[in-house]
Amino acid sequence: MKNLIKSTIAVVLFIFSGTIHAQKKAPKLENSLLWEVSGNGLSKPSYLYGTIHMICSSDYFLSDKTKKAFEASEKLVLEIDMSNPKEMTDLQQMAMGKEPLSKTLSPENLSKLDHVLKSNGMTVQQLDNFKLFTIMSLISMKSFGCNDLKFYEMNFIETAKQRKLPIIGLETVNSQMEAFAKSYTDTEMIDALKESSREETAKLVSQYKQENITAIYDAFATNKSMSKKTKEIILDNRNENWIKQLPGLMEKESLFIAVGSAHLAGESGIINLLKKAGYIVKPVMK
């Protein structure tokens, strides 16, 4: 339960890596999880890093170029500051539903959810008091097929604490959960749960190990479980909100900015938005 609570927010997006359909794809970017941000009056570069949030220990890696960039940075910036006790308290509270799912879901949705859970070795009765997004995280974690998951953000937080680096979040648990609540109906969320599979997660992990951020973005942005409205709320709008904050932060000190890799590529991705704002953003290849 401790790991579930810590990782719920971080992993929700990664259940949406199912079969894609034809849409316009993002322009191809170089394969790199690490990007240097400079120019536009910055006295020091900052670094943007795309995470997969969690991964099996056997697949976990942190390149030398990333370690070097982190060592050169003066502040860690995450989607949410999970080192903040208040954020963890809020997450614990939001993980549980105000009423059991058996009372809030329609009979049809409850039946579909029970089918999904049983196929993953669980039942509605076991998870009746959780919110749907908490169940999404459980199923997402199981789709990795291992019991020794490692969490990138937690590793960065631990290292930052050792170096006594300040840690800040670009948003809060409450604001992120509000975004998810606006993005999906119960039916859409349960349908998305049905798309989660070990095969698709394995594909995502492979793309991540190749540092192929364009392929990761394409998988999310063109996923049949993600409508135009959902993409705008979960990816585009949040990217724009983050971009409003980053210039003032980067102006003061060198940042190591770690966010989900699906946020990096695309027309409305962090990389392109930073370029539009006048910054030089280039991949760090070695």
* pLDDT by 10s per residue, the chain, length 286: 444 444 544 454 444 433 333 344 556 899 999 999 999 999 999 999 999 989 999 999 999 999 999 999 999 999 999 999 998 888 888 888 889 999 999 999 999 999 999 988 899 999 999 988 888 888 888 889 999 999 999 999 999 999 999 999 999 988 888 887 788 888 888 887 877 788 989 999 999 999 999 999 988 777 666 677 888 888 899 999 999 999 999 998 999 999 999 999 999 999 999 999 999 999 999 8
Q: How confident is the model at residue 86, as a pLDDT?
A: 92
Phi-psi region of 100 (alpha: psi -120 to 50; beta: other; left: phi over 0): beta
Strands 54-56 and 149-151: antiparallel
Please enumerate in sequence order all residues whose Cβ is within 8 A of that of 21, keeping only pairs 6 or more positions apart, or say none: 222, 224
Q: Compute the half-sphere exposure of residue 112: CA atoms within 13 Å on the CB side of its CA.
A: 16
DSSP symbol at 15: G
Identify the residue whose tokens are 């990761």: 216
**Residue 1 has which token pair?**
């339960």
CA–CA distances in Å: residue 85 to residues 28, 89, 284: 39, 6, 33
φ/ψ of 150, rounded to 5, equals -115, 145
* Domain locations along the chain: 2-96+131-283
CA–CA distances in Å: residue 104 to residues 11, 137, 188, 285: 24, 19, 15, 50
Closest CA to 109 of 92, 127, 132, 136: 132
Q: How confident is the model at residue 6, as a pLDDT?
A: 47
**54 within 8 A of 11, measured Cβ to Cβ:** yes
Closest CA to 173 of 133, 135, 136: 133
Identify the residue whose tokens are 């990389």: 271
Identify the residue whose tokens are 């990795």: 144
**139 within 8 A of 147, measured Cβ to Cβ:** no
CB atoms within 10 A of CB 132: 21
Radius of gyration of the chain from Cα atoms? 19
Residue type, 47: Y
**Residue 55 has which token pair?**
């991964």
Q: How confident is the model at residue 226, as a pLDDT?
A: 65
Please enumerate in sequence order all residues whose Cβ is within 8 A of that of 204, keeping only pairs 6 or more positions apart, or say none: 14, 17, 52, 216, 219
**Residue 21 has which token pair?**
């359909």
- Report pTM: 0.89
Q: How confident is the model at residue 69, as a pLDDT?
A: 98
Q: H or E element: which one contains 2?
A: helix 2-11
Please enumerate in sequence order all residues whose Cβ is within 8 A of that of 18, keeping only pairs 6 or more positions apart, or say none: 192, 195, 196, 197, 200, 223, 224, 225
